[in-house]
Amino acid sequence: MSLVTDKDASGEGLEIVSKSVKVGPDRITRFERARIVGARALQLSMGAPVLLQMENLDAKSPLVIAEMELRAKLLPLSIRRTMPNRTYQVIPLQKLKDIQAIREI
């Protein structure tokens, strides 16, 4: 694990640069899942394009489509996990495990 010594513009802590997940669990938490699905559902309801290629999308709600996009790992999002000593790690969703294991809606 290496630390980047540059502070960002707001004077926050150091970023942990690593190929593996060093901050928190190596899977998505229920709080991160709720935040991601909720934000994506809001985007979809405001007219954002759907990233899935499937039939009968008109019958699905934005919340169901957002959950399906998360399970398919199509969302180009990253999670920033912060430690109490103000170090943090930015983790792309594609690196996290067990996204498929999220319960069915």
Q: Is residue 18 part of a domain?
A: yes
Q: Is residue 9 part of a domain?
A: yes
Q: Is residue 58 part of a domain?
A: yes
Tell if the pTM clears 0.75, that is, is over it. no
- pLDDT, tens digit, for every residue of 19-78? 778 787 888 889 999 999 999 999 999 999 989 887 766 668 899 999 989 988 889 888
Q: Is residue 65 part of a domain?
A: yes
Phi, psi of 3 (to 5 degrees): -110, 135
Q: What is the pLDDT at residue 33?
A: 92
Q: Is residue 70 part of a domain?
A: yes
Q: Is residue 100 part of a domain?
A: no
Phi, psi of 15 (to 5 degrees): -90, 135
Between 66 and 103, the more confident residue is 66
The DSSP secondary-structure symbol of 104 reads P
Q: What is the pLDDT at residue 28?
A: 87
Total domains present in the chain:
1
* Domain containing residue 63: 2-95
Q: What is the pLDDT at residue 46?
A: 95
For residue 23, what is the domain's CATH number? 3.90.940.10
Q: Is residue 75 part of a domain?
A: yes
